[in-house]
Amino acid sequence: MALDALSKPSAESGSLATSLATIGIIVRRELRDTMRDWRIVSPIVILTLLFPWLMNWTAQLAMNFVRQRQADIIGERMVPFLLMIVGFFPISFSLIIALETFVGEKERRSIEPLLATPVTDLELYLGKMIAATVLPLMGSLVGISIYLGGLYWSVGYLPPLELFILIFVLNIAGAVVMVAGAVVVSSQTTSVRAANLLASFIIIPMALLIQGESMIMFWGHYRILWAIVLALLVVGVILVRMGVKTFNREAILGREIDELDLRRTGRLLIQSFVRPPLGMAALGQARGSAPAGVRRLIGWLGRVYRRDLPYVLRSNWMPLAAVILALVAALAIGWAYVARYPLPQGSITLENLSPESFDTLSGASFLPSLTTRGIFWHNLWVLALAGLLAAISLGVLAVLWLMIPIGLVGFMAGQMAWLGYSPLTFLAAFVLPHGLFEIPAAAIATAFALRLGASVTAPRPGLTVGEGMVVALADLAKVFIFLVVPLLLIAAFVEANLTPQIVLWAYGQ
């Protein structure tokens, strides 16, 4: 974008002590301001002080009811559920406070004087975030204490220590995720109204998560709950990073409306696709123009293959490395699962393979037909779906999507070893011939899909989140059309025509 924000803390950061002091100043002011707003304070007080008593009364009734029917365990398992509710309600207010942080200040025009002080983006962001979290979290913890105190006093029940810690940590992690998400929303919207509308995308998943957690708690699967805590913390960290990376002073000060301009987006997509990738021109390499006529089209294709593709592959080494690591991990996990789910000895006899075996496989409804066209379209569809999954999951699902087949390859190689065959021969015969083309194609497509998804969390400097996604999509399209598709075609041809021959040669009669 034209005016990018001074959003690199490194360029302006002071000492850690100064930063902490600055964060403290911001937090104190925000808290003081919040405490003066009766619309926020009164519901928190009611939910903190009165609601736990109501829940306590409900818990007593429920426990007495189930005790009369000798089902004490049901009553005991209900207590954590009510505990979660007591803890969650005050926390939900953190969302309202957090949604207001930046966009509220923007609406009141008080954000610019704040941005004009020697405060870094990170200090401002963390100060606002902590301030939004502290008060509701305190309310939540006080509410939990009142509820548990009341329960102990009335029916003499105290939850096990692990459960108590778990609920405590789940509440904190939930608050962090909600606040982190809401602050991202607040810094990316132009009005409190728009921020409130977008808040549904935070509150609905969180409400569903609370229900899920309650069910897990009812069945006492605490290990799963610890995993949820971990996942929530990871999501929280990603959201905070995303918030800091996408924090854009220019957008906050300058953007007046949230506009969906499809024509402009389309234009940016086409230009990003047609022109050399961002950054390449800046490095003094060739700059291109839109192709016109066959000769120019050929020249343009030449530039794409000679310069654009090598450049985008080099500049995206990080997602590529991440995908390769994930694939190696998938292979190892698949192999490791053999110990858990070994096939019975003799269940697979490769010596009996014949050309008819491949015809049988081709007829299986869950597999593509073993023709060049069938395999090609299947792989194309699968990788296109990876791009879609990446866009809605910060890139994570695209990687998991690719890990499944690679995990299966590892699993089958492990089974071969278990059944007494050489796993290397298996891989060389069944996977390597077409895998030489198919695996790089899949890895490259997945890496660019990952980058597309991750561009939301950290757009290129100078670009908005939307522009970053469009540019990443253009790179993905270029790589997909000019590199992945040709590789998939070659792979499909090899898999349909050469791989069966090699397998038969290696194992067949």
Compute the least distance from the CB of residue 467 to other proteins, in Å. Answer: 6
SS3 at position 431: helix
Please report whether residue 130 would count as binding other proteins according to CB under 8 A: no
- 254 binds other proteins, rule: CB under 8 A: yes
- Convert residues 295-334 into a mask of x (bound to other proteins by CB under 8 A) and - (unbound): ----------------------------------------
Which among 11-19, 311-319, 393-401, 500-508 is the span making contact with other proteins, rule CB under 8 A? 11-19
Helical axes 38-45 vs 16-35, angle rounded to 10°? 80
Residue closer to other proteins by CB (options 284, 344) is 284
> The tokens of 503 are what?
């397998």
Q: Which residues contact 244 (CB under 8 A, 6 or more apart)?
A: 7, 9, 121, 122, 125
For other proteins (CB under 8 A), the number of binding residues is 56
Distance of CA 303 to the CA centre of its chain: 34
Q: Which residue's CB is nearer to other proteins, number 256 or number 351?
A: 256
User: Contact with other proteins (CB under 8 A): which of 55, 78, 98, 111?
Assistant: 111
Q: Is 406 in contact with 334 (CB distance < 8 Å)?
A: yes
Q: CB 481 → other proteins: shortest distance, Å? A: 20
Is residue 263 a contact point for other proteins (CB under 8 A)? no
Give the single-character DSSP code of 456. Answer: T
Task: Give the position of tokens 């229900």.
Answer: 211
The answer to the question of residue 465 lying near other proteins (CB under 8 A) is no
**Alpha carbon of residue 405 to chain centroid:** 21
Please tell me whether residue 275 binds other proteins under the rule CB under 8 A: yes
Which one, of 182, 471, 458, 435, lies nearest residue 327 by Cα? 435
At 380, which amino acid appears?
L
Closest to other proteins by CB, 119 vs 353, is: 119
Interacting residue with other proteins among 155, 165, 250, 372 (CB under 8 A): 250
Q: Which residues contact 38 (CB under 8 A, 6 or more apart)?
A: none
Which tokens sit at 190? 């132009």
In the complex, least distance from residue 343 CB atom to other proteins, rounded to whole angstroms? 55
Q: Angle of helix 161-188 relative to helix 72-107, nearest 10 degrees?
A: 20
Whole-angstrom distance, CA of residue 472 vs CA of residue 387:
11
Residue range at the interface with other proteins (CB under 8 A); choices 85-93, 262-270, 425-433, 434-442: 262-270
Q: Does 352 interact with other proteins (rule: CB under 8 A)?
A: no
Binding mask 24-53 vs other proteins (x if CB under 8 A, - otherwise)?
Answer: -xx--x--xx--xx----------------
Cβ atoms of 46 and 89 within 8 Å: the answer is: no
Give the C-alpha separation, 352 to 350, whole Å: 5
Residue 248 or residue 457: which is nearer to other proteins going by CB?
A: 248
Query: Which residues of the shown chain bind other proteins in the complex (CB under 8 A)?
Result: 1-6, 11-14, 18, 22, 25-26, 29, 32-33, 36-37, 108-120, 249-250, 253-257, 259, 261, 264, 267-268, 271-272, 275, 278-279, 281-282, 287, 462-464, 467
